[in-house]
Amino acid sequence: MKSITGRFVALSAARRMIGDLLRVSRQMPLIPGERTMQLAKLVEARRAAPAALRPSWCAMFVKAMAAVAARHPEARRVFLTRPWHRMYEYNENVVSVVVERDCGGEPGLFLARIHAPEALPLAEIDAQVRRFKDRPIEEISAFQNALRLARMPLLVRRAVWSMLANWMPRLRAKFLGTMGISLTAGMGGVALSLLTPWTVTVFYDAFEADGSLKFRVMFDHRVMDGRLACQMGREIEREMCGAILEEVRALKSDVRAAAA
């Protein structure tokens, strides 16, 4: 039988980042949930908005989920296991958007953290996400800190991650955020489940012809129960069909007023 040859490939900083994040995420008992949202009116309003001002779906979901989390302290809590089991509740939202960037010639996933997005206009949320996607990685301190950690020896990385995950919740929020959103629908496919380090993570499928989509959430069952997760899904849909819809409709009115 002919021998099979190959080569060893060293782990890059980008692969180390994902491996470390998944190791922390595996410690969390995450439960998936799904809801079909009817967003036809918002789809139409977004289509009617001026192209230059048209907000991304990411920005709209970020603002909606943050507005709901601001009303539910459970969504702003994290379960800590060291030195004893307890929870820490944050006073504000820090939503992490997972963005893909080229890192040394290969794709790497980074966390674009947005502070209190429920208080920001959609245009500002979009602008912040674009800066994380477009600016050179060398100019983004959050990305550089993640790469520095990934380049440390294994034992050092595990010690740092243990401190972040269980001992230092305020630093955890600064490094990871308090909740997350991961987007794959625009890539032609969508994940059915995720491993994440957040108490609440949202993601969604592509739109159907009738303006509906599958909205999915992963939640830490130690912190909240399924009833609240379902309620938050309903409230996020109401935000999208209420305050978010009105803000998108106002974009067209603002352009008309400016042209008058």
Per residue of the chain (260 residues), what is the pLDDT tens digit?
Answer: 788 999 999 999 999 999 999 999 999 999 999 999 999 999 999 999 999 999 999 999 999 999 999 999 999 999 999 999 999 999 999 999 999 999 988 999 999 999 999 999 999 999 999 999 999 999 999 999 999 999 999 999 999 999 999 999 999 999 999 999 998 766 666 777 899 999 999 999 989 999 999 999 999 999 999 999 999 999 999 999 999 999 999 997 655 555 54
What sign for the dihedral angle of Cα 191, 184, 243, 212?
negative
Return d(Cα 121, Cα 142) in angstroms, integer.
Answer: 23
How many CA atoms are closer than 13 Å to the CA of 200, on its beta-carbon side?
Answer: 28
Q: Which of 141, 145, 104, 146 is nearest to 20 (CA)?
A: 146
Q: Which of 30, 23, 19 is nearest to 162 (CA)?
A: 23
Residues 6+ apart with CB under 8 A from 20: 149, 150, 157, 158, 161
Structure tokens at 10: 């060293």
Domain ranges of the chain: 13-253
136-169 in b/e form (b: 16+ CB < 10 A) is ebeebebbeebbebbeeeeeebeebbeebbbebb
pLDDT reported for residue 255: 55
Q: What spatial distance separates the first Cα and last Cα of the chain, rounded to whole Å?
A: 80
Structure tokens at 134: 């477009």
For the segment(s) 13-253, the CATH number from 3.30.559.10, 3.40.640.10, 3.40.50.1820, 3.30.70.600 is 3.30.559.10
Helix (H) or strand (E) holding 148: helix 141-150
